[in-house]
Amino acid sequence: MHSNSESMETLAVHGGERRPGPEGSVVFPIYQGTVFSVEPGTDYHDIKYIRLSSTPSQNYLHDKLAVLEGAEEAVATASGMAAATAPLLSVLRAGDHLLASDCLYGGTHDFLTHHAEDLGWSYTFVDVHRPETWASARTPQTKAFLVETITNPLMRVGRLREIVEFARREGLVTVIDNTFASPVNFRPLAAGFDLCFHSATKYLNGHSDLVAGCVMGGAELVGRVRRTLNHFGGSLDPHAGFLLARGLKTLALRVRAQNDNAMTLARFLSEHQEVAEVNYPGLLSHPDHAHAAELLSGFGGMLSLRLRGGAEAAEGLLDAVRLGYVAPSLGGVETLITRPVTTSHAGMHPEDRERLGITDDLVRVSCGIESPEDLVADFEQALRKVQS
């Protein structure tokens, strides 16, 4: 285990590594087997078995993930949605109430609106920028507060410090989705959050070639999450875990390049005559810039924009870009561009999308690690086509 005083670049490479590894290996091997001998008296949840997230490959990955977020423990999951739902299934019981950000990833929003009632939960969506409204939304049954570091797709940054203070005062478990920021740009546990989760499909892996998630936090809470996963069957296959551990080693390098690219592109777009709006917390014009600059060590690789020509121009932009792939997902080494109404938030009711500002003309960009000059040049030529 390595000290958290080491840089993120060093932690990403060396954190959680076995020195030496099995048979003297530098790269930890894949333990694909499901069958391991069991010592008498071993607790069920500690039996080495892939579904129980307890095999050598899985334990190795968990140690690497924990170091990145400065957590006591971590557990990997079969997808980002498994990482989003397992904490809620672990801290909420029938009759409990949840406070949740009113701007969540579409899948998380749909999980609450479609399944919370069946599970016996109630919930209230709150504005995470207005601390004065939270107390009135809380009930005696409220047990947890669910938020995101940077929201999808408008890149809003809530009053995260105030959320931690409020939750501690009220005795609530805080759960935060740190996917968009990654531990390079924000470490929620150090800021006082109880549980942090990621869609590891995105920045943590960074190569658009696997689906995974993870949950990090204190040992007791993560233990509860792992037991929940054991029963719901949301464990991660060791081979996907091997790819994720490999991707983690370049996390800091990739994210810093993506931060730089997003800032460069956002500045270019904000000054372009065809662009009506750019949403990026690194811009002085962003409504959350001041407190985001205090919270974050980088503003992320994601931005969104609207063109003066509306939805038709937005679709034209997608057709005209050459470097960026028109595809959902995010966080990979290649730039991706999409309209959230057709991908990440397609499952939301249109009126809910409209209320949150996720309109038909909104374009979301996940910046890759290409040359920033090439990225700007590509958008410049694409906008010329839209204009003509």
The pLDDT of residue 290 is above 60: yes
Model-level pTM? 0.95
Q: Please give the positions annotated as active site.
A: 51, 105, 177, 202
Q: What is the pLDDT of residues 184-222, one digit of tens each?
A: 999 999 999 999 999 999 999 999 999 999 999 999 999
Class of domain 8-248: alpha beta
The pLDDT of residue 284 is above 60: yes
Q: What average pLDDT does range 359-387 have in this prediction? A: 95
Picking from 44-53, 295-304, 314-323, 348-357, which range would have the lowest pLDDT averaged per residue? Answer: 348-357
More confident residue, 236 or 1: 236
Using CA atoms, how far apart are residues 226 and 237, in angstroms rounded to an integer?
Answer: 15
Using CA atoms, how far apart are residues 70 and 64, in angstroms rounded to an integer?
Answer: 10
Q: What is the pLDDT of residues 171-188, one digit of tens each?
A: 999 999 999 999 999 999
Q: What average pLDDT does range 344-355 have in this prediction? A: 65
Among 256, 242, 152, 255, which residue's Cα sits nearest to residue 203?
A: 255
In this predicted structure, what is the pLDDT of residue 1? Answer: 44
Class of domain 252-387: alpha beta
Domain extent listing, the chain: 8-248, 252-387
pLDDT classification of 347: cutoffs 50, 70, 90? low
In this predicted structure, what is the pLDDT of residue 106? Answer: 86
Q: What is the pLDDT of residues 59-90, one digit of tens each?
A: 999 999 999 999 999 999 999 999 999 999 99
Output the six-digit token pair for 339: 């309209």
